[in-house]
Structure 1
Amino acid sequence: MNASALHRAKTSRVNGDDGSPGFGVYIHWPFCAAKCPYCDFNSHVRHQPVDQARFVEAFRREMETMRGWTGPRDVTSVFIGGGTPSLMRPETVGALLETADGLWTLPAGIEITMEANPSSADAVRFAGYRAAGVNRLSLGVQALNDADLKFLGRLHNTEEALKAIAMARDTFPRLSFDLIYVRPGQTLEAWEAELRAAIGHAADHLSLYQLTIEDGTPFKALFEAGKIGIPDADRAADLYELTNTVTAELGLPAYEISNHAVPGAESRHNLTYWRYGDYVGTGPGAHGRFCVEDGKKRVTIAERVPETWAEKVTETGHGIVEEESLDAEAQGDEMLLMGLRLVEGIDVARYEALSGRSFDPARLAMLQEEKLVEPVANSRIRATQSGRLVLNALVAELAA
């Protein structure tokens, strides 16, 4: 471990949010022990041990290439996602962070998040990740009852989930965990009880996602065959409203459609996405978005198959297979779609400067009258709770 990594590891305080869009580094570790039936993320199961040293070298080379594209940047967060990053050896995590630090420089106390699953939670590994510099863990819990965990294809049970949460709280300065709701047959009463129990175990952040049936997943085939069903839109809206009420009551109000935190404990990395900041994405299937000299935003999408990605990196220095250049209008549309997810909303002046256009006053007044948007502090607008339920339509109206 180099000196800077050791300094990061020993820093107890995680630097807070300065309100800027920020610049993030996303690292995608694509391997899982099993593929969940609802998941459409780029994750892969391998029945032989993964050659972690080979992939570290590929990550190192791709990050070097990306550093050449971005130039020096002030990094505000690092996020190691997947897949299941907690299947990595701590030495692998350390090597990835040291590479990022050597290329962009990671300030002391910077938010460094790593995803983990309860089924791969281990006290020794957790201590190793902490020593490598990870100071925020995101646990994929997904449910707190065994029947639904089995339905969701998770490898852990409730007892193991709670043990992993406790272990993480003892090891990392900050902790988040995920739950999926709007599950088949889920009642308001059952979800409220489960949510209140979850908040009792939570540290400072919860990600609460509604179950969606994604194309290409086993759940999609079962849904189309009529073998599973999910609550209808009205019940989903009721569950969403209940979620916001309970989390606010218990001190973790929503700051984004699906994310709730003790004030000051919001995910700095995810705020970069929602505030339409810049980020590089490295690893199989990773996406990146960062500004280039002509004012356009460069979009990068990497090869999804891990071994093919690694081969491509060896050959060309990166695994990118798709690229796009976003002009001002496209950037404005994306900023609207992302920023209106946030309770803080969007800065109107920044939107106008980025997109080169202004909101139509009559249309904005109409949306305010319909209680879908509202002004904030004379400089921002945000979607109301009702507006966030119809976000895509709202964005289309504002961008017209």
Structure 2
Amino acid sequence: MTGISDPLALYVHWPFCVSKCPYCDFNSHVRESVDQAAWRAAMLADLRHEAEQLPGRKVASIFFGGGTPSLMPPETVAAVIAEAEARWGFTPDVEITLEANPSSVEAARFADLAAAGVNRASLGLQALDDESLKFLGRAHGVAEGLAALETAQSVFGRVSFDLIYARPDQTLADWEAELRRAIGFGTEHLSLYQLTIEPGTRFATMFEKGELAAYDPDAAADLFEATRTITAEAGLPAYEISNHARPGAESRHNLTYWRYSDYAGIGPGAHGRRSGMATVRRKKPENWMASVERNQHGIEREDALTPNERAVEALVMGLRLGEGVDLSRVAALAGGEAPIDAKVLARLIAHGLAVREGDRLRITEAGMPVLEAILRELVLA
């Protein structure tokens, strides 16, 4: 279980975007203008509240997510980093990641963001052909995106980028070629996601109208298998179902989530987990801002999680990882036995979909493509 002296992760949500991508179901909003001074002050107030709830901890990672946090003024990023260090202190190898759009305008800020303290960038390239970028609603083209990647690699110590595959009409050969090209850019980390049609998105509306077809599941499974094979051969094996890295270059911040350790979340819609408590910030930017002005924090809900809820969350998150989960730790969270169906587990093991080695349970390569179905059957929520 997480101890009160264990390192902490901090998530900072910047909710604003230039435009809303048709596949995106994240808490992102388009506004004509943003009062940057007011937002900076509110972010710092929200952070101070979390620091008061989590005293005596060191921060091991900060992740600026969104939205589009590369739209944040570098002085705001610097202020948040400085406040976190002042309130908590940092571990010697603190990882500070910022998600960025690969546009020329935002790339021009990369050096200033690095000077502010960001040492890891995660770029939303999303595709390596212009037609696909247009389909995905991205504002950048391939040439602009690759120029931004080159800039990022020159100023940040660590760089990752995202790609979305299983796009309409994308063949296995198309994806294999695109993925090999992506690997050739030499980044230490890749986040590779299958396109999904999320409720409430523009793609969902198009799907309901018959204007967009879902990708064939069998074909998507072939792309998933090829992704894992190609990245492993290139020295970037999957350490999580959609994330691939050179050994030692895994996202330490995201590992905090998947290993079910404490993290503080500030900004609109941010979630957190601290000492068995689930926190949720107000989602709409204006409502969050009003809450901070009124209460000095943006919290909408704080819920004490039951032992079983904590154990279930640890299983659902941890089984996404190649390393799996420690069932003795899950049992300790549950205050008894790990909430898994023993008969289902025996069947999964017999079919080669899961492996248990002592207290360590992990999903095999054969099981990962059907992970969601496995979790529905295996975990006793």
2:8 counterpart of 1:23: yes
In the other structure, the counterpart of 1:46 is: 31
Go from structure 1 to structure 2 and tell me whether the alpha carbon gap of 1:333 and 1:381 turns closer, same or farther (over 3 Å shift).
same
In the other structure, the counterpart of 1:223 is: 207
In the other structure, the counterpart of 2:323 is: 344
- Secondary structure of the equivalent of 2:92? coil
In the other structure, the counterpart of 2:280 is: 301
In the other structure, the counterpart of 1:394 is: 374
Counterpart CA distance in 2 for 1:117 and 1:264 is 25
Q: TM-score, normalised by structure 1?
A: 0.90
Q: What fraction of aligned residue pairs are identical, expressed as a percent? A: 54
CA contact (8 A) 2:100 2:106 kept: no
2:287 counterpart of 1:311: no
Q: CA deviation at 1:94?
A: 0.3
Counterpart CA distance in 1 for 2:170 and 2:6 is 37
Superposed CA deviations along residues 275-311 of structure 1, whole A, max 9, x for unmatched, are 01111110011111111xxxxx111111112122111
Go from structure 1 to structure 2 and tell me whether the alpha carbon gap of 1:151 and 1:369 turns closer, same or farther (over 3 Å shift).
same
Q: CA deviation at 1:23?
A: 2.1
In the other structure, the counterpart of 1:33 is: 18
CA contact (8 A) 2:7 2:91 kept: no
2:37 counterpart of 1:58: no
Q: CA deviation at 1:375?
A: 2.5
Counterpart CA distance in 2 for 1:272 and 1:109 is 15
Superposed CA deviations along residues 186-219 of structure 1, whole A, max 9, x for unmatched, are 1000000000001111410000011111111111
Q: TM-score, normalised by structure 2?
A: 0.94
**What letter corresponds to residue 52 of structure 1 in structure 2?**
Q
Go from structure 1 to structure 2 and tell me whether the alpha carbon gap of 1:278 and 1:121 turns closer, same or farther (over 3 Å shift).
farther
Counterpart CA distance in 2 for 1:392 and 1:219 is 22
Q: CA deviation at 1:319?
A: 1.1
Q: CA deviation at 1:390?
A: 2.4
Q: CA deviation at 1:394?
A: 2.0
Counterpart CA distance in 1 for 2:106 and 2:32 is 21
**What letter corresponds to residue 290 of structure 2 in structure 1?**
E
In the other structure, the counterpart of 1:364 is: 345
In the other structure, the counterpart of 1:10 is: none
Counterpart CA distance in 1 for 2:341 and 2:198 is 35
- Secondary structure of the equivalent of 1:26? strand
Q: CA deviation at 1:399?
A: 2.8
Counterpart CA distance in 1 for 2:86 and 2:232 is 41
CA contact (8 A) 1:186 1:231 kept: no
- Secondary structure of the equivalent of 2:164? strand
In the other structure, the counterpart of 1:73 is: 57
Question: Paired residue for 2:178, among 175, 181, 194?
Answer: 194
In the other structure, the counterpart of 1:276 is: 260
CA contact (8 A) 1:29 1:284 kept: yes
Go from structure 1 to structure 2 and tell me whether the alpha carbon gap of 1:123 and 1:210 turns closer, same or farther (over 3 Å shift).
closer
- Secondary structure of the equivalent of 1:386? coil
Higher mean alpha-carbon deviation, 354-363 vs 193-202, is at 354-363
Counterpart CA distance in 2 for 1:149 and 1:315 is 42
In the other structure, the counterpart of 1:4 is: none
- Secondary structure of the equivalent of 2:103? helix
- Secondary structure of the equivalent of 1:147? helix
Go from structure 1 to structure 2 and tell me whether the alpha carbon gap of 1:145 and 1:360 turns closer, same or farther (over 3 Å shift).
closer
Go from structure 1 to structure 2 and tell me whether the alpha carbon gap of 1:123 and 1:144 turns closer, same or farther (over 3 Å shift).
closer
Aligned length: 374
- Secondary structure of the equivalent of 1:228? coil
In the other structure, the counterpart of 2:304 is: 325
**What letter corresponds to residue 372 of structure 2 in structure 1?**
N
Q: CA deviation at 1:388?
A: 2.2
Counterpart CA distance in 1 for 2:262 and 2:122 is 22
- Secondary structure of the equivalent of 1:321? strand
**Paired residues for 1:150-189 under 5 Å:** 150-189=134-173
Query: Where does structure 1 lack aligned partners over 5 or more consecutive residues?
Result: 1-19, 292-296
In the other structure, the counterpart of 2:362 is: 382
- Secondary structure of the equivalent of 2:366? helix
In the other structure, the counterpart of 1:206 is: 190
